[in-house]
Structure 1
Amino acid sequence: MRNSALVFILCCLVMSSYGQQDISKSWVADLGDGTYNNPILFADYSDPDVCRVGDDYYMTASSFNAVPGLPILHSKDMVNWKIIGHAIDRLKPDSVFSLPQHGNGVWAPSIRHHNGEFYIYYGDPDYGIYMLKTKNPAGPWSDPVLVKAGKGLIDSCPLWDDDGNAYLVYAYAGSRAGIKSVLSIAEMNSEGTKAVSPGRIIYDGHENDPTVEGPKFHKRNGYYYIFAPAGGVATGWQIVLRSKNVFGPYERKVVMAQGNTDVNGPHQGAWVDTPLGEDWFYHFQDAGAVGRIVHLQPMVWKNDWPVIGIDRDNKGWGEPVGTYRKPRVGGNHPIVTPAESDQFDSGMLGLQWQWHANPMDWWHFADAGTGTLQLYSVPVPDDYVSLWDIPNLLLQKFPSNRFTATARVTFRPSVSISGERFGFVVMGMDYALLSFEKTEQGFVLSQNECLKADRGGKETVNEQVSLNDSTLFFRVSVTPDALCLFSYSTDGRSFHALGKPFTAKEGKWIGAKMGFVCSRPVKNNDGGRAIIDWFEVE
């Protein structure tokens, strides 16, 4: 892969039609010469799905327990993407999702455009399959409607047939349903709001395609097609099923696998065509701590079967590409990337930020007057063990496998509370942070880590220093092997390493994230706050 300094400089000078936006300083897929590098999104947009409307492309992805959920991204050329909104403001039921629900919530959505409206279907493994819709993909979206209730129903995708009939294909989560590796289809009403027939298993992958899931439903040249990943997230392949009858029997073919490339488990994504007649496929790759990153592959049809990637040896199936020409979509389109840095000038949180659970309104104040973000301290739960239990983590995705993130923060703790703290966090099943705490002796900055947080692990202190300053610059530098190096500064120029290197680890079905937390150890009627001037990723 290549990502030259010259291209980066050119990218930074671009003023896009989206308005002024910083271009990522850690990863730009568009090489500026008509080609692109995979991944096109070097961040955790798990289970991506994409639809085209005219010459606009819209993507969504799994968001699990993060709020707001179901990110919506927009592109004009299939390579450059910008976050434009979220489809879900809060997860329901609120009594459940107001507490951290690691790995639960929104699984493997599909996005479609039908009769002038955008539809998203997604599975919640504990409740069933939901649908929400809008005329404007930037939002607002309708409240989710439960289309088909059932424990373990996941990975759903609709199809409106030529005769007006509507169908829903979906998979099963073995952890809830007691079965996996099969796909089912149910009939829906024409509005797509309710399943009107029991589901029928149309494919059993136990023999050839264990853990077949994530189906996407299409129709072409009289065939019904189901694109589906199999073989597991990290080691799998992409299959396609086809039939002349919606309920089968379906033929099966492998259409993409890792082959001789370094792209493990290439599958689960979206077939998209262009106005000029090209076919392309989006999928993810499990990249460990960075998460499930998004690739774009060329695709062709041969004998009414797709071949995804490049079939170098006439095997009948393709392998992923690294660098390739951009899709021919017509026109010249600017280089853009999803938001990463935030100056907090708009009076709104940047769209890259998500809470760990449904937030309370008072947890933050984005002050456009001062251009700051204020986080108010939230009492920890009664059964608090670690940050794994905290709902008020404000986090964003790792933007690539190599970056540095810096924030300028002023801590204003309550004068009456000891133990109130602000944290600059790298979060996953293991996590580490710079913990800025008010003690009876004054301010103490420490570098802490928590191993096996998902299994009840507790924080330990690696190193700490006493400080007089209430304003500090916090920094973490991340290397391609997920090593995180924490440092701090009192003047923003000279940084001092603190603690020991920490190896980032993914969360439950997600990549590692970074961000902030402000907490207090007691439940009283008020607390302090942290004032964040800016957050810069480079």
Structure 2
Amino acid sequence: MSTSRNLVLVVGLLLVLVAPAQEAPATFSNPILPGYHPDPSICRVGDDYYLVNSSFVWFPGLPVYHSKDLVNWKLIGHAIDRSDQLSFEGLPDMLGLFAPTIRYHDGLFYIVNTCVGCGMNFYITATHPAGPWSDPVWLTDAPGIDPSLMWDDDGTCYYTGVAGVEPPAWPNQGMIFNQKLDLTQQKLVGERHILTYGHANNASYSEGPHLYKVDGKYLLLISEGGTEMYHAMTAHHSDSVNGPYQADYINPVLTHRHLGQEYPIQAIGHGDLVQTQNGEWWCVMLGKRVLSSYTTLGRETFLAKVSFEGRTPVFNAGTGKVQTGQKRPDLPWTPVENVPDKEEFEADQLPLNWYTNRTPCELFYTLEAGTVKLKLRREVMDSLTHSSVLFRRVEHHRFKAQTKLAFSTRHADEQAGLTLYRTNENYYNLLKEKDALVLYRSFKGKKQEVARVAYRPHEVYLQVEVKDLEVRFSYGESLCELKGIGEVESMVVLADLQGNALFNGPGIGIYATSNGKASESIAGFDWFYYSAADL
């Protein structure tokens, strides 16, 4: 670590120690977890809140967050962080770890989840949500996706899930069911009960069920309509855990589908309720921020207040929609340390907010003297195998990312550099090779070289700037001498519903490959900078 950086850290610490306590704001802003954070699930233990999201084929998988106030969240670990827990090899980016549910019971945390294309339904446990988490316990007789767990007052554990209907009475009909889960035998037991097909006789894609007991009665909250514009949440009630369940009169209890295609927050749904220690009810759910009719950040995590009128959950009473800002929960304001804009790679492990794509089967990077060194391997990101790539989430519509690369080669097939990635078919790469820098665009599986410039120095600074839908790449021998490469590109390449860009979200980071050839080469990245930018 440099002397100047040490001085900055010391001064920063002194300022924290002597500064007056930060005044608690009266409101908060949505989303509470920006960028690729879909399908949130939440639980409370005492005055601590824990949240987990889907992660599909990113590794480590199932990020776990902690908060004291439901607004400020800190990433504390991942439930799938060992290569021998699950393998995502061969899976498209839209498969892998679907919607998880996190719950706490009798001193143990549980996450129940579906690994689509890699074993289907399982649960894992931990004594602390930061981990370590157990190996998966596979529920081979559990059909469908989106499982959830609920313990009744007598200690019985109920598994709630989604199954298809054959033959369907209407298009995309789904069935929500529950069944006892015997945690000793580690399997579903007893009769399977159908709880609902949705709130109407054309309810499509009924999924994401969560079962609660509120004031001695059972509340089933599910999502319908698919995870795009027609997404919605519906409530169903019963006096018995196994039903029959009656649809709430005001269903859907929350949706934005009636607000039109131009409304800035779309696809609201897949919610999970939590009651605070002060008696308030809140709900986390996914949503999309729309930019000129496109969604470029993926599905994000939002927060809304819930009040019960009788047995009906009312979301943000008076508006009935998720808001960009509102009065925050009645909880002690507890800020968390911000992730630094510049990652200098000086620790002995990567920060928790850095990922690779698909499960690594070998060591592909090292951290040495403030540099992350990527091995050039045969694998390429266009394939469905793990390649030498590291990235973090894109969280803003306007941002700047930079890195310093040290890399030279005499082989035409060896490349390393900056990547802006969504799927194996949708990405941008700005790569240094033998004697040039090359900008590639892959859109819907069609890869093109869009720009090439001669470049021979060993070191190069690479940059990407994104302003809404505009993308600009540049390079130089110093940050003061950056030159543009190519024309203005478009974030539509990484937007939802473009080719196979479904469910997950974009990452920004570094990549190296030898394009199918054996290689002993290494690419060194001194640091990586990412920040929101007023461009």
Letter in 2 for 1:262: P
| 1:159 maps onto 2:161 in alignment | no
TM-score by length of 2: 0.85
User: What displacement does 1:137 show?
Assistant: 0.9
Could you tell me which residue of structure 1 aligns to residue 353 of structure 2? 352
* Aligned-residue identity in percent: 27
| 1:492 maps onto 2:479 in alignment | yes
The within-5 A match list for 1:427-438 is 427-428=421-422, 429-438=425-434
Letter in 2 for 1:364: Y
Aligned mates of 1:268, 1:31 — CA distance in 2: 33
| Contiguous gaps of at least 5 residues in structure 2 | 1-10, 290-294, 496-500
Query: Do the aligned partners of 1:310 and 1:320 also contact (CA within 8 Å) in 2?
Result: no
User: What displacement does 1:492 show?
Assistant: 1.5
User: What displacement does 1:477 show?
Assistant: 1.1
Change (3 A) 1:274 1:430: same
Change (3 A) 1:527 1:72: same
Change (3 A) 1:485 1:500: same
User: What displacement does 1:273 show?
Assistant: 1.4
User: What displacement does 1:335 show?
Assistant: 4.5
Task: Give 1:250's match in structure 2, choosing from 226, 240, 245.
Answer: 245
| 1:104 maps onto 2:95 in alignment | yes
Could you tell me which residue of structure 2 aligns to residue 130 of structure 1? 122
Aligned mates of 2:341, 2:38 — CA distance in 1: 18
Query: Do the aligned partners of 2:374 and 2:522 also contact (CA within 8 Å) in 1?
Result: yes
CA-to-partner distance for each residue in 1:386-423, whole Å, 9 max, x for gaps? 3666533322221122111111111144x5x3320003
Letter in 2 for 1:471: E
Aligned mates of 1:322, 1:156 — CA distance in 2: 29
Task: Give 2:392's match in structure 1, choosing from 390, 393, 396.
Answer: 396
Aligned mates of 1:198, 1:508 — CA distance in 2: 35
Look up the SS of the partner of 1:266 in the other structure: strand
Change (3 A) 1:146 1:388: closer
| 1:69 maps onto 2:61 in alignment | yes
Query: Do the aligned partners of 1:181 and 1:210 also contact (CA within 8 Å) in 2?
Result: yes
Deviates more, 1:131-140 or 1:424-433: 424-433
Deviates more, 1:43-52 or 1:459-468: 459-468
Task: Give 2:194's match in structure 1, choosing from 185, 195, 201.
Answer: 201
Look up the SS of the partner of 1:197 in the other structure: strand
Query: Do the aligned partners of 1:45 and 1:61 also contact (CA within 8 Å) in 2?
Result: yes
User: What displacement does 1:191 show?
Assistant: 4.6
Query: Do the aligned partners of 1:292 and 1:511 also contact (CA within 8 Å) in 2?
Result: yes
Query: Do the aligned partners of 1:233 and 1:286 also contact (CA within 8 Å) in 2?
Result: no
Query: Do the aligned partners of 1:448 and 1:499 also contact (CA within 8 Å) in 2?
Result: no
Change (3 A) 1:283 1:128: same
Change (3 A) 1:512 1:290: same
TM-score by length of 1: 0.85
CA-to-partner distance for each residue in 1:32-59, whole Å, 9 max, x for gaps? 6221111112211110111111111111
Query: Do the aligned partners of 1:42 and 1:401 also contact (CA within 8 Å) in 2?
Result: no
Query: Do the aligned partners of 1:395 and 1:516 also contact (CA within 8 Å) in 2?
Result: yes
Query: Do the aligned partners of 1:358 and 1:391 also contact (CA within 8 Å) in 2?
Result: no
User: What displacement does 1:460 show?
Assistant: 1.3
Look up the SS of the partner of 2:296 in the other structure: helix
Deviates more, 1:225-234 or 1:62-71: 225-234
Task: Give 2:51's match in structure 1, choosing from 30, 44, 59.
Answer: 59
Could you tell me which residue of structure 1 aligns to residue 235 of structure 2? 240
Query: Do the aligned partners of 2:359 and 2:386 also contact (CA within 8 Å) in 1?
Result: no
User: What displacement does 1:373 show?
Assistant: 0.6
Query: Do the aligned partners of 2:400 and 2:463 also contact (CA within 8 Å) in 1?
Result: yes
Query: Do the aligned partners of 1:165 and 1:190 also contact (CA within 8 Å) in 2?
Result: no
Letter in 2 for 1:238: M
Could you tell me which residue of structure 2 aligns to residue 503 of structure 1? 490
Query: Do the aligned partners of 2:233 and 2:271 also contact (CA within 8 Å) in 1?
Result: no
Aligned length: 489
Could you tell me which residue of structure 2 aligns to residue 305 of structure 1? 312
| 1:371 maps onto 2:359 in alignment | no
Aligned mates of 2:284, 2:212 — CA distance in 1: 15
Change (3 A) 1:310 1:476: farther
Aligned mates of 2:465, 2:74 — CA distance in 1: 24
Task: Give 1:519's match in structure 2, choosing from 505, 513, 518.
Answer: 513
Letter in 2 for 1:492: L
Query: Do the aligned partners of 2:416 and 2:433 also contact (CA within 8 Å) in 1?
Result: yes
Letter in 1 for 2:243: G
Could you tell me which residue of structure 1 aligns to residue 439 of structure 2? 447
Query: Do the aligned partners of 2:211 and 2:221 also contact (CA within 8 Å) in 1?
Result: yes
Change (3 A) 1:336 1:238: farther
User: What displacement does 1:311 show?
Assistant: 2.9
Query: Do the aligned partners of 2:173 and 2:197 also contact (CA within 8 Å) in 1?
Result: no
Aligned mates of 1:281, 1:338 — CA distance in 2: 25
| 1:295 maps onto 2:298 in alignment | no
Query: Do the aligned partners of 2:375 and 2:388 also contact (CA within 8 Å) in 1?
Result: no
Output the aligned Cα RMSD: 2.7
User: What displacement does 1:91 show?
Assistant: 6.0
Query: Do the aligned partners of 1:216 and 1:270 also contact (CA within 8 Å) in 2?
Result: yes
| 1:146 maps onto 2:144 in alignment | no
Could you tell me which residue of structure 1 aligns to residue 498 of structure 2? none
Deviates more, 1:154-163 or 1:224-233: 224-233
Query: Do the aligned partners of 1:48 and 1:61 also contact (CA within 8 Å) in 2?
Result: yes
Query: Do the aligned partners of 2:233 and 2:269 also contact (CA within 8 Å) in 1?
Result: yes
Could you tell me which residue of structure 2 aligns to residue 474 of structure 1? 462
User: What displacement does 1:98 show?
Assistant: 3.2
Aligned mates of 2:508, 2:405 — CA distance in 1: 15
Query: Do the aligned partners of 1:347 and 1:371 also contact (CA within 8 Å) in 2?
Result: no
User: What displacement does 1:308 show?
Assistant: 1.2
Look up the SS of the partner of 2:345 in the other structure: coil
Query: Do the aligned partners of 2:173 and 2:202 also contact (CA within 8 Å) in 1?
Result: no
Letter in 2 for 1:374: K
| Contiguous gaps of at least 5 residues in structure 1 | 1-12, 20-29, 313-317
Query: Do the aligned partners of 2:85 and 2:136 also contact (CA within 8 Å) in 1?
Result: no
